[in-house]
Amino acid sequence: MSLKVPHGLPALQIVKNEGTHVEELKSSTCNTLRVALLNIMPMKETTEADFIRILAASDMEIELTLMKLDSHTPKHASPQHMQLFYKGFNELKKEHFDGLIITGAPIEKIEYEEVTYWNELCEIFEWSRRNVISTMYICWAAQAGLYYWFDINKYILPEKMFGVFPHKILRPDMALFKGIEEPLYVPHSRHTELRKEDITAQAQIELLSESELSGVYIMHRQGTRDFFVTGHSEYALNTLDNEYKRDVSKGLSIKLPLNYYTDENPTLPPMNRWQADARKLFGNWLKYYVKK
C-alpha cells in the first residue's frame, strides 16, 4: 500500500526499521482514503507506530492525519513533536475524512465528566457523525463513545484484564471479518469493562464479537459505519511485555498477561497470536467501511 504521513514523522522510520514495507504516497488521488487518528494515548510515537504498522498492511492508498485535542496538553510528548506533526481539532473541524480512529487513554477509572477534555471529545463525537464516513472507537474511547451516545456505564474490574484472549465472531458473514476464523485472539489491557446485558439492551447496537474471558469486544452502531472496539488488535508484539515489566519494576501487584508468553514464562518470547488477524480486521474496515 501507499501511506502519506506528516513529513519527518519518527514513527514512520520506526516501522521501516522493523522491516515493515511502507511505500510513501507522493500525492493524493481520487482513490486515496483520508484517515484521521485522534491520538490521546500518552506515548505518542508508540501509538503512531502501532497504527502506521497496521494501516501499512492494507492495499489501500491512505493519507494519515494526526489529530490532537486543543483543550489538552500531553505530559509525555514534546511540544515540538505535537506542533510539527499534529493538527488541532479546531484546525480540522471544517474538513471531511473517510475514516477516524479515536484511541484509548489510561484514565478509565476517572468519571467521564471529570476528564478535563470531555467537552471537546463530545464535540468530536458529534462532528464525526457529519464529517466522517466511518469511525473506530478503541478501548477507553469505545467506553466513552457508548456512554455519550447511549448512557452505557463502565464498571471497575476486581483485577486488570490483561493478556491475549480468544473471541467468538457472532457475525461471520459481516465484511469486517472476511478471511478471519475463530478463535479471534485479541490483546486486552484495562481496569474496567462494559457489560453484555447493557449492550444488548440497546436496539441500535449490535454485538459482533465477544470472549467468555474478556467480555464484549466489537460493537456496531446500526445504520452507521461506526464500530466500538474494547481491545487492542493494533498492539505490537512486545507491548504487553513492556507493560508487565514496567509494573514489576515499580513493585506493583500485577499478574502475568494471560495466553501471551510461551509456556506462560516471561523469560520466553511472546506468542504472536493476533497480528495476522488484526491486519485483516483493519484492512476490511478500510476496504468495506471507510472506502466510499
Each residue's pLDDT expressed in tens, for the chain with a length of 292 residues:
688 899 899 998 899 898 887 877 777 777 899 999 999 999 999 999 999 999 999 989 999 999 999 999 988 889 999 999 999 999 999 999 999 999 999 999 999 999 999 999 999 999 999 999 999 999 999 999 999 999 999 999 999 999 999 999 999 999 999 999 999 999 999 999 999 999 999 999 999 999 999 999 999 999 999 999 999 999 999 999 999 999 999 988 889 999 999 999 999 999 999 999 999 999 999 999 999 8
Query: From the DSSP assignment, how many helices (H) and strands (E) are in the chain?
Result: 9, 12
Using DSSP, state whether 248 is helix, strand or coil: helix
pLDDT of amino acid 19: 83
Pairing outcome for strands 86-88 and 184-193: unpaired
Q: What is the pLDDT of residue 22?
A: 81
CB atoms within 10 A of CB 197: 7
* Domain range list for the chain: 2-237+276-290
In this structure, are strands 33-38 and 155-169 parallel, antiparallel, or unpaired? unpaired
In whole angstroms, what is the distance from residue 251 CA to residue 102 CA?
31
**Which residue in 214, 143, 227, 226 sits closest to 185, CA to CA?**
214
Alpha-carbon distance of 16 to 223, in angstroms, equals 38
Rounded CA gap, 194 and 189, in Å?
A: 14
Q: What is the pLDDT of residue 252?
A: 85
Helix (H) or strand (E) holding 283: helix 275-285
**Nine cell digits for residue 68:** 490532537
Q: Is the sign of the CA dihedral 188, 272, 233, 88 positive or negative?
A: positive
SS3 of residue 137 by DSSP: strand
**Which residue matches cell numbers 473517510?**
98
Q: Look at residue 1 in the predicted model and tell me its pLDDT.
A: 60
Return the CATH number of the domain spanning residue range 2-237+276-290.
3.40.50.880
Which member of 63, 139, 188, 220 is catalytic?
139
Is 139 tagged catalytic?
yes
How far, in Å, CA of 68 to CA of 89, rounded? 6
Which of 37, 33, 100, 35 lies closest to 61 in space, CA to CA?
33
- Beta-carbon contacts of residue 18 (< 8 Å; ≥ 6 apart): 53
**Any catalytic annotation for residue 234?**
yes
Give the residue carrying C-alpha cell 490532537: 68
